[in-house]
Structure formats: structure tokens, C-alpha cells
Structure 1
């Protein structure tokens, strides 16, 4: 068991960019902190990728293998996914530019070893028994003033994520600014976050050439603000209320939740509306404290009303937004979310061409 003092920040050096360099920088201090007689080795990947496996060997020759997860940035919400991707018999080792204290605590809870390029590290194994821990920087030394927080929260994130999910094809950042309606500075900041989290791939100083829309929507759903909701009861029932709503063109709303899918017959009417009371009065709904069969959410941003679908006379939120709503928040339904995910993955014609 070894534990060292934090490294002086002026010895950290420039930020590594390639995965192989992130791995080498992150493991250099780990190797130096191993107990006497212990050693570290890995497979030989083709640069610029990091190794896929790392071996730690005890003096008697006994070894323990770790699956390497190299990333430019890891957030707390990513740790559960990393843990789920590991098999029950496998050990994980995460390396990154910088791992914040909340992320390190999450990795510790999941029993995942890690090291970042500033010297924060933890290596744990039962057989052969080893425990190595060290401290590096307490803040990201490469994050300057005005750099994005790394969290997909706020209206600019809503607009950029939705625009990227809803469109397919190579897209420049100026084109994304026009599609999303977000400001120039905010768009660039959100794109930087998405690139660092490997949710999109962008040519240096060039266009976005790949969008991993499913994990991007999943990350956005987990981190965006949760909408406040009001509950009502429909005296005539949900079916009759949906029929009345289809006849009204003067009520601004966007249908979401299970009722906006073909997963099952809706037992609830779940919608977005800027003014829940006005929406309820227009349809003769009665407010209730709990339960009810109509749930009205007040949207944080107007993006919920963009690129809506009209089916059966009803205005549905875009399927990308519906999918995100089914993942988390007041409209969450895990089974319906998986149903929608499989449909969207099987046929991506729901994504519109950029040009």
C-alpha cells in the first residue's frame, strides 16, 4: 500500500491530446508509485490510440489485468456507463486529462481504478493485493477562464444537442448556429464539450463529421434541468381529451411521453405547455395535487416546440426530444424508451439532411 503527497502543479506540463499520450502521462506517475518490485506493462497499440489492456505484476510474477478506458474528459454521469460496460470479472482503469473529485469518488464507489495526467490516481486489486493512491491537481490546470463547464445544462445545450440529433450529415459550426438558434459563443462552447466527451467528432477547425446521437441524447437527458409539472384530471377521459385537442389549433402545446409513441395505448396525456392553467382551462381540465391523468410540463426553453411532428391531428415533440423525456424526468418510462431507441436505431430516416 502506498500513498503520496500531491504533485506541484508547475510540473504538470502541457495538456496531452492523443489517447496514447493521455495514457502515458497518466500512468507515468502510477508506475513510479508502485511498491518496490512491482511493474506495469501494456499491449502495444497503434498510435494515437491507447492500449486496451494494462497488466500490473507483483514481485512473485503474479499479475492482474485491467481494461483501459482512455478519454479526454469524464463526468460523474459517465461512470455508471463505464461500469456497466465492464464484465463482472473484469477490472477497469480509466485515464483522462483530469478527473475531478466527484468523478474520482464515483469511480472509487464502483471499484474502478484510475489515473489522470495531473497525478490523481488510484489502483486497487485483491489478487495480487495492491493499493496505490496519489493526489494531483485539485482543479483542471488546463481549463482557462470562460471554458465550458462540461455539463449539458441550459438553453444553448438544449438547442445545439437537439439540432445535432435531428439532422444528419456533415455540418459546420456556422451552419449549426443557424440550425440551433443558439448564439455563436454558446454554440462553440457546447460543441467543445461534446467533442471532449467524444459525443461528436469534429475535424480540427473544420466541420462536425460524426454525431453519436444516442449517447448524446442520453447524456443531455441526464444533465438538463428538470421541468416543473402541473397535474390535472380530464373529466371526459384521456381519449376524449386527445380528440378535443386534435381539433384545436389555437392551443400551443407539444405532446410527449408514452402517448407520443406507438409503444402502448396512452393512459396519460403528457404535454409541454407554456401556461398550464390556460391549457387546462381550454380543455376543461381540473387541477389536482397528486395523480391525475394529464401532466403538463413548463418547458425550460422553446426548443421543445421546434421541428414538431403532426400525427392524427396532434402536435408531437420531435422524436429525439420524446426519447430524452422517456429516459429521465417526469415523463420517464424505461420500457418505452428502449422501444423508441430500437426503432430510431433501426431506421435513421427521422434525422433530416443538413442541406
Structure 2
């Protein structure tokens, strides 16, 4: 079903077809048509009613369907959660079923926490009923099929894709609140209007909490996951595969003696498996991934300095051209070698190939246990800044 066809009626019908296919022919899934005197009561909370009866003629259950073009965690917490609470106190206590073209993993979790069923058109399904006993939980698409890598066509909707969003995510993850949109805009050099729209979207997703215009809390781990869902490490950054004739340890030794500036951004910085292993050792091996700045000739210069040779296959080292300077910001030093900030490392690893996402989760566990050491208080940063 296309987006244009995703009207409330069509979405409700699709939910019925999905339930019939999942439960099988022996179950009865019957849509109920509203009585004539009920059609104009103005109650738009539900777009359909369905009864489900098992093959043995034991008591049936009733589902109340609400169809939505999108479902945000904030809507689940407020609107849908309130409706669910009201239904829970009714005599019949029917089950709510939300149907949408696509429902994010975060919204799915919020729905499950409230025992609200859901079906989306990509195959994400959850329905749990006590009598008759029904429990369905299927995974569909983890990314929206309608996702646009940037601004949505014809609207001013913003997403977590793109360089501007990357800067804002890094700020929110690296600095503890409180701060305002103006602080973020000034620090990231992103237009204030764009920052405000993105913060509104993050609020809907419950990735940030706000009091009036001040951000008071950030779900930085959820935010890094959400950002990584919009990126692909080896697609978004042009890279060149290299082999190290003298071995990767030789490359690391040369990196330790490379004349990095004492202040400011380094010209080359480690990410990927080697950086993850320095934080939370999970496995051995993996390619040595190095960001270089995006200036002309930087890849050739760094390859010559490190003694690397181009390789079409079996690359031991990847030189990635950094798509944005924020990649080098707030870097760490490990054995005199610059490593990307932990927040950047997690996003790179979550969006990388092979076992890199698992390495990212190990880094996240370590970050949760040491948050007070790597997140910087924003107010303290401002107070310590030199005055002009």
C-alpha cells in the first residue's frame, strides 16, 4: 500500500487483513460497522472495531483500531496512553490496536509498555490478549520506507540525517543540560530555526525533555542510536582501502609520533574497531579505520606518511574523508594517538559493517557506567571560556 493510499479506512482494512493472515483461517476476524445513530457522534479516537473469535467458540475479544500516519513516543505517552487508561476502567476493557505505515522501535516499545497493540505496513506487529490467548510479536522494518535523507519534500520537517543534525546530536550527547536552542545554534553554527525544528522532533520522540524552552534532560544513548539509523559509515564517508606492508602496529606507532597540533583539531583520528577496543575490549581483529580531513591531497599525504599502499581487496586500513569537522571535535588521546569522541565512536560503530554494532553496544555500556567522566557540563564550559 502506498503512502497516498494510507487513509484511516485503508489502514484499518490492512490491519484486518494482517490479523487474518497471522491467525489463520480457523480464527474469525470480523470488522464491525458502526450503527447508523453512532456514525456522527464526532468520536474520532477510533477508526474501526474488530472482533476476534478462536476456533473453539470460546469468548471473543474486541479490538478498537486507531489509524495514524505517524506515531511518536510522545503521542503514545500522552494521547494514546490516556485513551488506554480510560478503556482499562470500562466494563468490557477492549484492546487498543494502533495501525500506521511505519512505527519506530522507540514508539513500539512505548506501546508495548502500555499493552497497546500495533501493526505497521512493514511487518512490525504486537498484540497481546489474555482471553482468548493471543500473543503476536513480529519484527518488520527498522527504518521508515518513507525516510528522506534530509528535509521532507514540501514541508519544513527535519530529520536526524545530514551534517547539521550530526553536529547537534554530538552537542546533545557530549554536554549535560541545562541549555537552550540558542546555545546549541551558537555552538554548532547551525541556523536557530533549524535547530528549533529538530529539537521539536526530538521532543516528540522523547529523546529530550524540556521545561519551557530549556532542555533539561537528554536520552543520549537513544539519541545516538536514532542518529545511527540514518547513516552508513562507509557510504556517507568516501574512503580508500589500504594495506600496511609493515603491519598495522607500525601504522599505530607512526600515528603516535605524527606532529598533531597541541591544540585544535588533529589531521588524522582513529575510529572503528581499534578505537572501540581501547574502551571496551570485545574482540580482536577488524580494520584500522582512520578519518582524515577533507582537504585536497590529505589522503595521499597520510598514506605516504603511514607507509600505506592502495588495495582493491583485503584492505587492512581504511582512510575515510571526514564529511564534517565535528568528527574531530572533543577527541581523546589514547597512547598519544587521537581517537574520536565516544559519542562519535558509537555512531560510527552502530552504522558500520560486521561486528561493529556489537562493539558499539559494549562501548555504550562503558559510557553508561562512566558518564560523569566523559560528558561535560555545559555551564561549566561557559564559565571557563575566556572573556572577550
Q: How do 1:67-146 and structure 2 match up within 5 A? A: 76=102, 78-79=104-105, 82=108, 92-94=116-118, 104-106=120-122, 109-112=123-126, 146=155
CA distance in 2, matches of 1:324, 1:75: 27
CA distance in 2, matches of 1:330, 1:155: 21
Q: Of residues 321, 329, 345 in structure 2, which corresponds to 1:306? A: 329
Q: How do 1:287-298 and structure 2 match up within 5 A? A: 287-298=310-321
Q: How does the TM-score come out when normalised to structure 1?
A: 0.67
Taking a change above 3 Å as real, the CA distance of residues 184 and 228 of structure 1, as seen in their structure-2 partners, is same
Q: How do 1:130-279 and structure 2 match up within 5 A? A: 146-149=155-158, 151-204=159-212, 206-224=213-231, 226-250=236-260, 252-261=267-276, 262=278, 263-264=280-281, 267-273=286-292, 274=294, 275-279=298-302
Contact 1:156 1:190 in 2 (8 A): no
Taking a change above 3 Å as real, the CA distance of residues 6 and 110 of structure 1, as seen in their structure-2 partners, is closer
Q: Of residues 376, 383, 387 in structure 2, which corresponds to 1:352? A: 376
Q: Secondary structure at the match of 2:229?
A: helix
What's the CA shift string for 1:307-336, capped at 9, x where partnerless? Answer: 111221111111001011111135861331
Contact 2:77 2:110 in 1 (8 A): no
Q: Secondary structure at the match of 1:27?
A: coil
Q: Of residues 324, 331, 350 in structure 2, which corresponds to 1:327? A: 350
Question: Which protein has greater RCO, CA pairs closer than 8 Å, 6+ apart?
Answer: 1
Q: Of residues 7, 13, 28 in structure 1, which corresponds to 2:46? A: 28
What's the CA shift string for 1:108-163, capped at 9, x where partnerless? Answer: x12347xxxxxxxxx9999599xxxxxxxxx9xxx9964224x2111110000000
Corresponding residue pairs, total: 290
Post-superposition offset of 1:239: 1.0
Contact 2:103 2:124 in 1 (8 A): no
RMSD, aligned CA: 4.4
Q: Secondary structure at the match of 2:178?
A: coil
Taking a change above 3 Å as real, the CA distance of residues 145 and 110 of structure 1, as seen in their structure-2 partners, is closer
Contact 1:256 1:270 in 2 (8 A): yes
Contact 2:288 2:317 in 1 (8 A): yes
Q: Which runs of 5+ in 2 are unaligned?
A: 10-41, 53-59, 66-75, 135-145, 147-151, 261-265, 380-388
Q: Which runs of 5+ in 1 are unaligned?
A: 9-23, 95-102, 114-122, 130-138
Q: How does the TM-score come out when normalised to structure 2?
A: 0.62
CA distance in 1, matches of 2:61, 2:371: 50
CA distance in 2, matches of 1:352, 1:82: 32
Q: Secondary structure at the match of 2:241?
A: strand
Contact 2:239 2:321 in 1 (8 A): yes
- Structure whose alpha-carbon radius of gyration is higher: 2
